[in-house]
Structure 1
Amino acid sequence: MSTAAHHGIARGDGRAPPCVETLHGTPVADPYRWLEDPDSPATRAWLAERGREFAAAAENWPLRTPLAERIRDLVAAELWTPPLRRGGRVFATRRPAGGDHPAVVAFDDTAEADDPDRGAPGERARVVFDPHAFGPGGGTTLDSWEPSPDGERVAVQTSSGGTERGTLRVLSAATGLQVEDPIEGVRYSNVAWVGSAAFYYVRRDDGDGRRGVWLHRVAPAGGGPDALVRACGGPRTVPGVRLLGGRWLVVSESHGTGHRNDLWIADLAPNGSDAGGARLEHPRWRTVHAGEEAETQPELGPDGLLYLRTTLGAERRRICAADPRRPGTGHWRQVVGEDPEATLDGFTATGTAEHPELLVARTRLGISELTAHSAADGGLLRRVDLPGEGMVTRLEPAGEGPGAGAHLCYADVATQQEVLVLDPGAARPRPWPRAARPRPPTPVRRRTLRCRSADGTLVPITLFTAEEPPDAGAGAPAPGDPGPTILHAYGGFGRPRQFGFSATVLAWLMSGGRYAVAHVRGGGDLGRQWHLRGARRGKPRAVDDLVAAADSLVAEGACARDQLCLSGGSAGGLLVLAAAARRPDLCGAVIASAPLADMARFERLGLGPLWIREFGTAADPQDFAALMSYSPYHRVLADGAAERPAVLLTGFHGDTRTDAAHPRKMCAALLHHGESERPALLRYERDVGHGPRAVTKAIELAADAHAFAAAETGLDRPPAAAAAPAGGGSPRRREAT
């Protein structure tokens, strides 16, 4: 690789001269590199111009206001997370109907927290932490939280401006006041309490040698510097920490986003007693596995055994058991085997020491299944009757003692996320709080199609329609007739598409539109090999799959070519831009939210260095050739089609994952290369990032994006009124990469 060679003369507008960089003997033009500086006067002026263009275009989108109103109605429900019992308190998060953020709340009793005779939980809950109080403008988000075992303290992580660079605070559960100075510089850190006086946490977003697992002693017992317990293995690894059963400290290192981790365990003695002991700072590690091409998640069963969900020897995952004192792979015993057609997403160990059970959640093309198995031999005990065809998340024990049952969250396309309780031995869960009852959902029809990709591989497509479009009239397609359709794809990092609740999708369906998901390679929909075949030098296959899916929907008669809008975010934004750059006639419109676009420089921007296992590196000649074969930014610079789809890009100034330089540069390339009269718009926001945001801001973004899709595909009927789905929850722990 050579250093960049600059060509041209100095510009009077503050922009750098055009840049050409020679990589592996190939000149790579980068005329808009100056847009990588987000705060230069030239970039600010350019963004202001794009803002005026977007505002002028959005004024002419007829469904912008009706979609925003319907989405707001659909999300207007009180949302809870599963309750946690710690000491004499019950903790959860609650977002009131119409609220922007969830707050951490507590009940000061050990009785059934949703007993209707004692009043609704929302009436009895005391707020421990409300992110709105730290940022009245809605820019502060609650990233994660964890109460201490005795229920006296709560560790709360927040971030502001969308940067996801967090602050960790320790609060009194009784008063909500901070008990010591906050810890800065954490990013979605696990917090593993050791008693109530100390906890482990991780640093993963610093470049000063502090990445790793740390021990913090809480004031007043603390006061000294935090102790580094285990250093991180390198700049492209992500550490994690958990404490199982109050005794077993588990540390993991994930290697980039390649779905591979190393795992160690240490015994801190029963109940984590002697919190000041030296063994807390210097645990004696036992290796679970290291150096394997496998990803493993451990849980502790009521029988004291370690249960491990793993891809080792099972690309769709299996569950093995081991004695935590002899945790190496040579001592593993398979309990629940791999299903060749469904991916094992999550599990939890319940029951008693004498009769332990494993609750297992699998996903089959986006739809969850839940089963109970004997922990002794993996035998099927019962199938759990879920409320519908949807998504199960947050599967965890309902209490700290044996025989407590389990909590889970459930959502589907027409039902907002709700908390469910599965009592011991039950085959049907009940809602929590007890008063929560889901309202009748809007009928949605789901069917699966399959298309043949360029290499002959069959790729599944899920297509959603309203069974009977309400208030069908002018502009509403009759069943079987072509109609406006959004085709979504992600195709990255081995993540399967799961069909939970989306108020935006539901509002689109209620307007008579259709919504499809292409389960392309690169995702995890059909197992680990499905991911790997669409990763790194295989990433062009994911583009092939999406192109084939779009052609198939047109051939099937679901939509005409100009009625089709491709939609994707982050890695999915890269995919839809790459497909449209390859085939400018493929569709009528494209929505790319916070996309990757410049694949020659992705590893120099945002979290790009962590993604080399997924996309490759421009330093390798073969990887470079694959990257440049589909890099949307460079395809547009080189080809510049006379006709192309209308494009809406979104960019977030605080984005520390896919740097907002990607949509800025992509928009400039679309505007100035080629002769298309179709719009290329950039919706750019400050004070937000890639991750969670205030509900109000999320509604505005969703309504704008889908109003654009409606205007470009001919959908002109406002969404019909329907009962808003009930139930709900928001994540307590969230991992981001």
Structure 2
Amino acid sequence: MSVVDTLHGHPIPDPYRWLEDPDSPATRTWLADRAREFARAAANWPMRDRLAARIRRLIATDLWSPPVRRGDLAFTTRRDAGADHPRLITVRDGYERVVFDPAVHDPSGRTTLDAWEPSPDGRLVAVQTSTGGTGRGALRVLSTENGLPVEEPIRGVRCSHVAWLPTPRDTAFYYVRSDSAEGRYGVWLHRVLALPRRPDILVHPCAGPCTVPAVRLLRGRWLLVSENHGSGHRNDLWIADLRGGSAHAPRLRAVHTGEEIASEAEAGPDGLLYLRTTLDAPRRRICVADPADPSPTQWREVVPEDPGTTLDGFAVTSSAPRSPRPATAADAAEGSADIELLVSRTRLGISELSAHGARDGRRLRRVELPGDGMVTRLEAGTDGSASFCYADVATQQTVLVLGHGQRHPHSWPLHAPPRAPRVSAPGAAAPNSSKPGRGPRRHTLWCRSTDGTSVPVTVFSTGSADAPGPTILHAYGGFGRPRQFGFSATVLAWLLAGGRYAVAHVRGGGDAGKAWHPRGVHRDKIRSVQDLIAAADALVSDGYCARDHLCLSGGSAGGLLVLAAATMRPDLCSAVIASAPLADMARFEQLGLGRMWTREFGTASDPVDFTALMSYSPYHRALNGQGHRYPAVLLTGCHGDTRIDAAHPRKMCAALSAAASPDRPVLLRYERDAGHGARAVTRAIELAADAHAFAAARTGLSPRTRSA
């Protein structure tokens, strides 16, 4: 029976409301029918097995995480070539010991290792896991000697840092947990093996259910607590000195609260607090403050904002690391002479790394990276070095270590970075292209959106930039997050098969800094969709592809964009891949974590917001779309998705199917033991191969396609 809601005087039909119940007999029967439809269609995709095999070959290498040192132990994870999950190991004098292996813990492969943090002396390690991709999991304390748990696990945790107390005589840590029917999070103190057994202590409750905290310990002394308010616009930040204070009641001093500022902090060896912040800097800058008086009015700028790049990470290093201590102004000035700030910036998805003086922010040198790629997880070591992960379109993630004062990083462990097979790139490099011979070509195309805004589109190919061919156009455009170009075996397999891959840097994301986000958010969210449409039109008009050779692709918030674009402009492309998308924007607040995203999308309870939401809501446009010739659509959904409820792709599939043309099918690929989070590598390969084989079948990519 169709449901009709009345919102602000408007009747809103919802004929597929019944699909919001995932376990009803009717929904189960409907899902079984969709599974058979998908299997029949997938059996006729000629590129499916070829793409899956190539993806497996491209990722067949060991992957390490940056080392975390505790005494003579180095903690790291390694996913062995061909394995589904990384294992947590310790390395001492070249010898390895496995501390936690998800495949041994859960042979079904459904459990993932989400986070881990060793104790200050390295005897214990806190390990966070989740099952089925739900993002909700358990925290276990393991002995590093034998990998065995030392006590019962803590349930209901959210993936976050664990902050161990710095003193070995008080074995305890702070962590994040939800502990109420409303799903409100808080920061808790847990004492390991406490006798008598005592309940954990709530040291920092969150104000409401739309707030998510995080906790960190800086240089063994400063407790840092932040609260993210679910939109990427801002966070609140507090700091407490654990020396001389009470662990169960730390004196949290506000750094900034209640302001439109997003900041993160690191403590330097000079005893000062260094902050990467959007305060008066949409593309972020670095300021320094005294932890004893950390309010923004006392900040001093060290590294200014760069109008052409976004400052997305930094590390504080020193040639002579020392214990943190209170610093006078004179001490800080003297101590900062040998301190460097290693700064990572992103320019349209490509990272740049440079060293700056901590005293005046002057750029000292540029760090040489292996290519045009992405730098992540930039962290300072205890020996004055810094480690980070590097990847690019043709280079799988590798760990690099940079010594203090150096320009050229080296790999860790000491081996050559694992590279995918070299891709030939004939001809001269085009403007804005990557170096010839190192991998796929990269070109920047500019398009003009509906309101006249110039929007960049990055285009990758392995051959001539002028030859049209099957093309995937990807977009995300949400929560102020920039798109960075790291390694994707799926993308590289598509390129090697002869396809082209493009990314639209639409408003709503963070590709052009913080200011790029609010221009495509809330009541202006439709601009993100208009930017994507303009990008698709530009690819066609500039000869990169024809309409019937173009497939839009997006996941999560990006899935919303591609569905909105296709329902607004059914002639835009031949196919759409929408992975775990938002779709019903009248009810998104009642599904999954939608209540946390009202700052991003608005709320249906507000009449003006409601009008904006309905202007692009894919589900409702599809319900009213009888007679339109929509593209072929592949939707993916996960039964265990606690972030974006799988009701969105279920209902969208039903609505589109009712209006679909027989030669342009609407398919749903649905998984029961998976969610929005990480999954086993084998399952990730199967999903990627299915999605891109669908794109190949709809855009004409075949084993005979010439490289585009």
The counterpart of 2:234, out of the listed 260, 265, 280, is: 260
**1:504–1:703: 8 Å Cα contact kept in structure 2?**
yes
Aligned length: 672
How far did 1:720 drift? 11
Superimposed CA distance per residue, residues 328-348 of structure 1 (whole angstroms, 9 cap, x where no aligned partner): 111100000000110000001
Selected match of 2:223 from 249, 252, 257: 249
Measure, in 2, the Cα distance between the counterparts of 1:227 and 1:437: 45
Match status 1:591 vs 2:558: no
Q: What is the aligned counterpart of 2:67 among 78, 83, 105?
A: 83
1:511 aligned partner, one-letter code: A
2:258 is the counterpart of 1:291: yes
Aligned with 2:655 (options 663, 669, 693) = 669
Q: 1:222 to 1:584 in 2, by over 3 A?
A: farther
Q: CA deviation at 1:107?
A: 1.9
Matched ranges for 1:24-39 at <5 A: 24-39=8-23
Q: What's the CA shift for 1:159? A: 0.5
Write out per-residue CA displacement over residues 707-736 of structure 1, whole angstroms, 9 at most, x where no aligned residue. Answer: 000000000027999xxxxxxxxxxxxxxx
Q: How does 1:104-115 map to 2 (within 5 A)?
A: 104-109=88-93
Q: 1:507, 1:602 → 2: CA distance?
A: 34
2:279: which partner in 1? 312
| 8 Å contact kept, 2:185–2:211 | no
Q: Structure 2: how far apart are the matches of 1:193 and 1:222?
A: 20
Q: Deviations over 1:394-413 (max 9, x none)?
A: 10013x24xx2100100000
1:627, distance to aligned residue in structure 2 (A): 0.3
Which residue of 675, 681, 698 corresponds with 1:689? 675
Aligned mates of 2:688, 2:79 — CA distance in 1: 20
| Superposition map of 1:115-130 within 5 A | 124-130=95-101
User: How has the CA–CA distance of structure 1 residues 205 and 492 changed in structure 2, closer, same or farther, with 3 Å as cutoff?
Assistant: farther
Read off the aligned partner of 1:542 and give its amino acid letter. Answer: S
Q: Percent identity?
A: 67
Structure 2 CA distance for partners of 1:327 and 1:479, relative to 1, 3 Å: closer
Question: Equivalences for 1:484-563 in 2 at 5 Å?
Answer: 484-563=470-549
Any conservation in 2 of the 1:216–1:222 contact (CA below 8 Å)?
no
TM-score between the two structures when normalised by the length of structure 2: 0.93
The alignment's TM-score, normalised by the length of structure 1, stands at: 0.89
Residues 651-708 of structure 1 deviation map (CA, whole Å, 9 limit, x = unaligned): 0111011110000000000111354531100000011111110000000000000000
1:56 counterpart residue number: 40
From 363, 378, 388, the counterpart of 2:346:
363
- Report the equivalent of 1:636: 622
Instruction: Tell me by how many angstroms 1:388 deviates.
Output: 0.4
Q: 1:615 aligns with which of 601, 622, 631?
A: 601
Choose which of 391, 394, 414 in structure 1 pairs with 2:374. Answer: 391
Kindly provide the CA deviation profile for residues 405-453 of structure 1, in whole angstroms up to 9, marking residues without a partner as x: 1001000001000000101111111111112344463221001010000
Q: Which moved more, 1:606-615 or 1:280-289?
A: 280-289
Given that 1:165 and 1:205 are in contact with CA atoms closer than 8 Å, whether structure 2 keeps it comes out as no
Give the C-alpha shift of residue 530 in structure 1.
0.9
Alpha-carbon distance between aligned partners in 1 of 2:677 and 2:260, rounded to the nearest angstrom: 28
- Indicate whether 1:380 and 2:363 are aligned: yes
Deviation digits for residues 24-63 of structure 1 (CA, Å, limit 9, x no counterpart): 0111010001000001110000000000000000000000
Letter in 2 for 1:451: C
1:445 to 406, 424, 441: 441
Aligned residue for 1:455?
451
Cα pair 2:182 2:209 within 8 Å, conserved: no
Structure-2 separation of matches of 1:713 and 1:675: 17
Aligned partners of 1:481 and 1:720: how far apart in 2? 9
Which residue type is aligned with residue 85 of structure 2? H
What is residue 562 of structure 2 aligned with on the other side? 576
Q: 1:328 to 1:530 in 2, by over 3 A?
A: same
What amino acid does structure 2 have at the position aligned with 1:585?
A: D
CA distance in 2, matches of 1:374, 1:697: 46
**Could you say which residue in structure 2 is the equivalent of 1:231?**
205
User: 1: CA distance between counterparts of 2:626 and 2:250?
Assistant: 59
The range that moved more, 449-458 or 247-256, is: 247-256
Match of 1:144 among 90, 112, 115: 115
| Whole-angstrom CA distance in 1 between matches of 2:627 and 2:137 | 43
State the distance in 1 between where 2:202 and 2:400 align. Answer: 39
Counterpart of 2:636 in structure 1 is: 650
- Write the deviation string for residues 449-468 of structure 1: whole angstroms up to 9, x where unpaired: 1000010000000000014x
The corresponding residue for 2:387 is 407
Deviations 1:305-361 (A, max 9, x none): 100000011000000001111111111000000001100000010014451110000
Cα distance in 1 between the residues matched to 2:212 and 2:298: 26
What does the per-residue CA deviation read over 1:115-156, in whole Å, with 9 as the maximum and x for residues that have no partner? xxx5xxxxx311100111222111000110000010000000
Q: Call closer, same or farther: CA 1:623–1:19 in 2, change over 3 Å.
A: same
- List, as ranges, runs of 4+ consecutive aligned residues in structure 1 with deviation greater than 6 Å: 718-721
* C-alpha distance in 2 between matches for 1:522 and 1:222: 51
Alignment of 1:175 with 2:175, yes or no, is: no
Give the conservation status (yes or no) of the 8 Å contact 1:342–1:364.
Answer: yes
Task: Give per-residue Cα distances to partners, 1:456-482, cap 9 Å, x unaligned.
Answer: 000000000014xxxxxxxxxx65232
Q: Residue by residue, what CA displacement relative to the aligned partner does 1:278-300 show, whole Å, maximum 9, x if unpaired?
A: 71111112110111101000001
- Whole-angstrom distance in 2 between the partners of 1:207 and 1:258: 25
**Aligned partners of 2:164 and 2:217 also within 8 Å:** yes
Q: Deviations over 1:612-633 (max 9, x none)?
A: 1000000000110000000000
1:675 and 1:383 map into 2 onto residues whose CA distance is 55
Moved more, 41-50 or 245-254: 245-254
Q: Distance in 1 between matches of 2:359 and 2:644?
A: 45
Q: Counterpart of 1:138 in structure 2: which amino acid? A: G
Matched position secondary structure for 1:264? strand
Q: Please give the alpha-carbon distance, in whole angstroms, between the structure 2 residues aligned to 1:167 and 1:612.
A: 29
Matched, 1:45 2:25: no
Matched position secondary structure for 2:624: helix
The answer on whether the counterparts of 1:342 and 1:526 sit within 8 Å (CA) in structure 2 is yes
In 2, Cα distance between equivalents of 1:466 and 1:210: 48
Match of 1:112 in 2: none
Shift of 1:97: 0.6
Query: What is the CA distance between 1:206 and its match in structure 2?
Result: 4.5
For 1:56 and 1:569, locate their aligned partners in 2 and report how far apart those are by CA, in whole Å. 24
Per-residue deviation, residues 533-559 of structure 1 (Å, max 9, x unmatched):
100101000110000000000000000
Does the CA-based 8 Å contact 2:574-2:632 persist in structure 1? yes
The answer to whether the Cα contact below 8 Å between 2:213 and 2:228 also exists between their aligned partners in 1 is: yes
Structure 2: how far apart are the matches of 1:602 and 1:479?
40
Amino acid at match of 2:599: R
2:660/2:666 contact within 8 Å kept: no
Change (3 A) 1:161 1:517: same
CA change 1:48–1:543 in 2 (3 A) is same
From 410, 421, 429, the counterpart of 2:409 = 429
Distance 2:678 2:266 in 1: 27
Matched, 1:22 2:6: yes
Q: Match for 1:365: what amino acid?
A: L
Q: Is the 8 A contact 2:389 2:400 kept in 1?
A: yes
Q: Which amino acid aligns with 1:532?
A: P
Amino acid at match of 2:177: R
1:409 aligned counterpart, secondary structure: strand
Return 5+ residue gaps in structure 1 as ranges.
1-16, 110-117, 119-123, 271-277, 468-477, 722-737
Write the distance in 1 (CA, Å) between the matches of 2:495 and 2:659: 35
Separation in structure 1 between the aligned mates of residue 349 and residue 618 of structure 2, nearest angstrom: 28
Q: SS of the counterpart of 2:518?
A: helix
Using the TM superposition, give the Cα deviation of residue 508 of structure 1 relative to its aligned residue in structure 2, in angstroms.
Answer: 0.5
Structure 1 residues 676 and 39, CA, compared in 2 at 3 Å: closer, same or farther? same
495 and 719 in structure 1: CA distance in 2 versus 1, 3 angstrom threshold: farther
Matches of 2:465 and 2:233, distance apart in 1: 41
CA distance in 2, matches of 1:409, 1:247: 26
Amino acid at match of 1:595: P
